[in-house]
């Protein structure tokens, strides 16, 4: 299965909606696209919306952790939302929830990042 990535700008935040599989086959293209958005100053914060993400491996975790570090260096914040059970377990085991918040939906995540609708 492939990965589909939808980007939506909302004030200072970039909402990244991922569907499909974020793995070693798709991680590099996601990383490159997000780095371009971040480095060009198109966003201050990132919200990863993972409702339709069916699978993630360690490569996917690396992409998310790397973007977290990059956005934090630029003074921004990052959150994840709509995480399904299997991806949630992976985040929990990796310790990512200790450094970034998880929310039930995009609206709550955006509110937390102070870019509410």
Binned at pLDDT 50, 70 and 90, residue 114 comes out as: confident
Domains parsed from the chain with CATH numbers: 3-112 (3.30.750.24)
Residues 6+ apart with CB under 8 A from 54: 1, 19, 20, 21, 84, 86
Residue 16 has pLDDT above 70, yes or no: yes
Cα 29 from Cα 83, distance rounded (Å): 21
Return the SS3 of 22.
strand
Binned at pLDDT 50, 70 and 90, residue 117 comes out as: very low
Mean pLDDT of the region 103-116:
86
Return the SS3 of 113.
coil
- pLDDT tens digits, residue range 26-69? 999 999 999 999 988 889 999 999 999 999 999 999 999 999 99
């Amino acid at each position: 299965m492939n990965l589909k990535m939808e980007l939506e700008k909302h004030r200072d935040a970039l909402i990244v909606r991922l569907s499909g599989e974020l793995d070693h086959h798709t991680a590099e293209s996601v990383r490159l696209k997000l780095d371009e958005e971040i480095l060009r100053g198109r966003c201050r914060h990132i919200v990863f919306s993972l409702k339709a993400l069916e699978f993630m491996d360690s490569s996917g975790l690396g992409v998310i952790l790397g973007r977290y570090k990059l956005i934090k260096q630029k003074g921004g914040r990052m959150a994840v939302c709509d995480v399904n059970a299997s991806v949630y377990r992976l985040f929990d085991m990796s310790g990512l929830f200790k450094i970034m918040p998880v929310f039930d939906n995009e609206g709550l995540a955006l509110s937390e990042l102070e870019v509410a609708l």
